Amino acid sequence: MHDIEPYFKWRQYFVAAEDKKSRFYGTKYSEFTFTNKVYNYFIHPQWDSIGSQTTYVKNIYTDYDEGYAFIELIGEWNDCLNNDVMFLKRELADNLIHHGVNKFILCCDNILEFHGSDDSYYEEWWDDVKDEGGWITVLNLREHILTEMEQLRLQHYINIGDELNEVNWRKANPKVAYNEILAILHSKRKQLSY
């Protein structure tokens, strides 16, 4: 895990450590000192801590005008033991919501496991963004993670599954990736209305 870096090709568009609105503004990173771990495995020092012992993040792009953010995650999403969704909501999403972000794209290509608990923080997050036309979308979940999230009925609060599990968001710039996700969400809503 130590050699999995957060996606860096969008740094020409956005760097959270240089964004005065970001919770990570002013953060200094080492390329050589590994301090953060998921269990006994060190992770790359470019990942940001949100207080969780098992989930780390990188806010790789935020567009305040359009109100959306791409957040990449790594590790184990463990709500059962660590209440990781609480850390994600309180330590990152709440700050972005305060600055007008109401559309969240969670890139979960590097989430290896999920252990659910209840849905209260998902519901709270959904309530915070839905009135302004916002949403939470989770991309590229492993099949067993998707199954567990669906068993907990998290799809009532977050967009998961189907085409969202196959989005190659890295192939383009953030605006193109965002528009692709919008098209998928529009198509899903259209299907549900029939």
Res 193: pLDDT: 45
What is the pLDDT confidence band of residue 127, given thresholds at 50, 70 and 90?
very high
Q: What is the pTM assigned to this prediction?
A: 0.95
Domain-located, residue 162: yes
Domain-located, residue 38: yes
**Contact call for residues 81 and 44 (beta carbons, < 8 A):** no
Res 194: pLDDT: 41
Q: What is the mean pLDDT of residues 77-97?
A: 96
CATH number at residue 163: 3.30.750.24
Distance from C-alpha of 85 to C-alpha of 106, rounded to nearest angstrom = 12
User: Smallest Cα–Cα separation from 85: which of 126, 130, 32?
Assistant: 126
Q: How many domains are there within the chain? A: 1
Domain-located, residue 145: yes
Domain of 174 in residue numbering reads as 16-192
Q: What is the mean pLDDT of residues 152-176?
A: 95
Res 32: pLDDT: 77
What is the pLDDT confidence band of residue 1, given thresholds at 50, 70 and 90?
low
Domain-located, residue 129: yes
